[in-house]
Structure 1
Amino acid sequence: MNILITDSVDPLLLKLLDSNNLVYECNLSDSENTILKQIHKFQGIIVRNRLKIDSRFLKKAKNLKFIARYGSGMESIDTQSAKELNIKCFNVAEGNSNSVGEHALGMLICLFHNINQSATQLKGFIWEREINRGIELEGKTIGIIGYGNTGSSLSKKIGNFGCRILAYDKYKSGFGKENIEECRIETIYKECDIISLHIPLNTETKYLIDTKFIKKMDKPFYLINTSRGGIVSNTDLINGLKTKKILGACLDVIENENPKFSEINVDKDFKYLLNCKNVIITPHIAGLSNESNKKLSILLVNKILELK
């Protein structure tokens, strides 16, 4: 089996491939057109975000047996076309779920207790206590939308803070246990103080959080998004913040992410969010930890071996 790796991966992945006699080639820089001319040589491909695996790409991949996503999001892969061509697609979302759960909780605590703001003020020799008075998680109701790997990870962690945890998953049931209340989306609208998103980006979830959703919420609420930026409409999020229907937001992902942004070319909505005191934004790092990289590598190689 000959495997193409198109993005940077943890060295452990390469060691595991070697130890299992799996042949691979790393191509981290060639253009998509160049790779298209070579893809027929490979039976497997390991990807992150650099390439878009669409029907055009798949038609050139005459011998491809599997597409492995080193991470979780599958939105850059045309899984339906792959299925029709009998190409298996899989990810290793369970590998970074603990990191995502910790990150989501960490951002929320930072927001509630003004940790970022007060730390920044102190660096400017400003000692302010009263304006940085915090909010406690205890007694709040959090609604987790999507109870997969990351949603369940957050629920386990936040359960020790005295929160009521409601969880809604359109495609899963029977997961309610102990302090996790499985519920309908209407209950989320009615009772939650905090909403945390743990769903993939697809045609069904694009702009799930929009003006319509925000209006359905009975109470002003806080929003956490560690999934994909396109699930939340920036414009509607900003309107929600301006009207105070959204009290604050913790965003590890954002619509129209651009790693090469600068003060000159930054999108106006993104700039507004960056300047909001009640918004914390991190650069899509929730799933990135030293430990998660190792887990991703081990899980991915095990799944490849199961195909043999």
Structure 2
Amino acid sequence: MFRILVCDGMDKSAMVTLMDAGFEVIDEHYEVEELKVKVKEFDAMIVRSATKVRQPIIDAALETKRLKLIVRAGVGVDNIDVAYAMENGIEVRNTPNASSASVAELAIAHMFAVARHVHSANVTMRNDEWNKKQYKGIELNGKTLGLIGFGRIAREVAKRASALGMKVIYTDYLGEMEGYDDFAFKSFDDLLVEADFISLHIPFNAEKGAVLGKEEFAKMKDGVILINTARGGVVCEKALVEALDSGKVAAAGVDVFEEEPTKNEALYKHPKVSVTPHIGASTKEAQARIGIEIVDTITDFFD
């Protein structure tokens, strides 16, 4: 019987499906040192963002050579040392299709929150403050949204933003995409200059570091609004706080952080920032779809 370790939780019905298919499923989160011991006992492991599968974990698994598959329940795999795992005979898979709509909707939600001061008013009214005159917002309709990266999630954002009356422009390292003529491809620098809202949809690359830093903020429009539901690290948090303080960035919606849970109070307590604790894929629908993708991945792999 193949043993599956579910490190960070998953849809219960998907776990039942795996068990009905003959897999032994253990739903347990282990900290690093204990995981080094436990990982030797499993054929596959399923992780979300909380568990980091770095080289020491992989080395521990290689002692028994039992682990054959790591599945990331989500899109990004930057919490896994993918190349090292693959070099040592451990396959790495993700669930790229399941959470696109959920993350896209959260990005739009942050746009509305900061454009209409919902994030602030929701707090001040609970403190018995009626700050009506302070909360003159802006409409999304007629604004230009710049998407950095144009993969599955960005395309879902583009569709929703277009329906709201936004002009959508995008940049991507692959260049202009066929079949998306309603949205204009721009160079990275041109997008920074033209966009009223900027939303990031790219993975974090440790070698390259932040894509948006002090130099990039300087190129943006005064009063730009920034949304990051992609990955912590793609935006330099120090530079973002400075841009918020100066007014270069009027507001930001942030779901992901350089360190999670974040300790950067200057960012998450900033009055111009709408914050959520990395919940882009945290909807019932997305988790159910992720569960289905995981079941298909595991059953196909071990068939």
TM-score with structure 1 setting the length:
0.88
Alignment partners' CA distance in 2, 1:102 and 1:133 = 23
The secondary structure found in structure 2 opposite 1:137 is: coil
Q: Once the 2 structures are TM-superposed, how far is the Cα of residue 219 of structure 1 from its aligned partner?
A: 4.7
Partners of 2:9 and 2:28 within 8 A in 1: no
| Structure 2 gap ranges (5+) | none
Of the structure 1 ranges 31-40 and 164-173, higher mean CA displacement relative to structure 2 is found in 31-40
Aligned: 1:152 with 2:146: no
Structure-to-structure mapping, 1:90-109, within 5 angstroms? 90-109=93-112
Structure-to-structure mapping, 1:26-41, within 5 angstroms? 26-29=27-30, 31-41=31-41
Identity of aligned residues (%): 28
Give, as a single letter, the amino acid of the residue that structure 2 aligns with 1:20. Answer: A
Pick closer, same or farther for the CA change 1:106–1:90 going to 2, 3 Å. Answer: same
Alignment partners' CA distance in 2, 1:118 and 1:41 = 51
Q: Once the 2 structures are TM-superposed, how far is the Cα of residue 231 of structure 1 from its aligned partner?
A: 1.4
Structure-to-structure mapping, 1:143-292, within 5 angstroms? 143-171=146-174, 173-175=176-178, 177-258=180-261, 267=263, 270-292=264-286
Pick closer, same or farther for the CA change 1:211–1:176 going to 2, 3 Å. Answer: farther
Q: Once the 2 structures are TM-superposed, how far is the Cα of residue 11 of structure 1 from its aligned partner?
A: 0.8
Alignment partners' CA distance in 1, 2:131 and 2:33 = 56
Partners of 2:231 and 2:257 within 8 A in 1: yes
Q: 2:71 aligns with which of 48, 68, 72?
A: 68
Of the structure 1 ranges 291-300 and 60-69, higher mean CA displacement relative to structure 2 is found in 60-69
Give, as a single letter, the amino acid of the residue that structure 2 aligns with 1:28. Answer: H
Pick closer, same or farther for the CA change 1:58–1:257 going to 2, 3 Å. Answer: closer
Other-structure match for 1:55: 55
Alignment partners' CA distance in 2, 1:69 and 1:186 = 33
The secondary structure found in structure 1 opposite 2:297 is: helix
Partners of 1:138 and 1:163 within 8 A in 2: yes
Partners of 2:4 and 2:26 within 8 A in 1: yes
| Structure 1 gap ranges (5+) | 260-266
Alignment partners' CA distance in 1, 2:85 and 2:126 = 52
Partners of 1:195 and 1:222 within 8 A in 2: yes
Pick closer, same or farther for the CA change 1:120–1:57 going to 2, 3 Å. Answer: closer
Partners of 1:205 and 1:231 within 8 A in 2: no
Aligned: 1:80 with 2:74: no
Q: Once the 2 structures are TM-superposed, how far is the Cα of residue 2 of structure 1 from its aligned partner?
A: 2.5
Give, as a single letter, the amino acid of the residue that structure 2 aligns with 1:142. Answer: L
Alignment partners' CA distance in 1, 2:175 and 2:66 = 34
Alignment partners' CA distance in 2, 1:272 and 1:45 = 36
Give a deviation string over 1:14-42, Cα, whole Å, max 9, x none: 1121232223333324x433332343332
TM-score with structure 2 setting the length:
0.90
Other-structure match for 1:7: 8
Give a deviation string over 1:90-111, Cα, whole Å, max 9, x none: 1113222211111111111111
Q: Once the 2 structures are TM-superposed, how far is the Cα of residue 253 of structure 1 from its aligned partner?
A: 1.6
The secondary structure found in structure 1 opposite 2:19 is: helix
Partners of 1:226 and 1:253 within 8 A in 2: yes
Q: Once the 2 structures are TM-superposed, how far is the Cα of residue 136 of structure 1 from its aligned partner?
A: 0.8
Q: Once the 2 structures are TM-superposed, how far is the Cα of residue 151 of structure 1 from its aligned partner?
A: 1.1
Number of residues paired by the alignment?
298
RMSD over aligned Cα atoms: 2.1
Give, as a single letter, the amino acid of the residue that structure 2 aligns with 1:12. Answer: S
Give a deviation string over 1:202-245, Cα, whole Å, max 9, x none: 22552211101112325541100011221111211111112221
Other-structure match for 1:263: none
Give, as a single letter, the amino acid of the residue that structure 2 aligns with 1:15. Answer: V
Of the structure 1 ranges 219-228 and 47-56, higher mean CA displacement relative to structure 2 is found in 47-56
Alignment partners' CA distance in 1, 2:271 and 2:59 = 48
Alignment partners' CA distance in 2, 1:27 and 1:115 = 37
Give, as a single letter, the amino acid of the residue that structure 2 aligns with 1:37. Answer: V
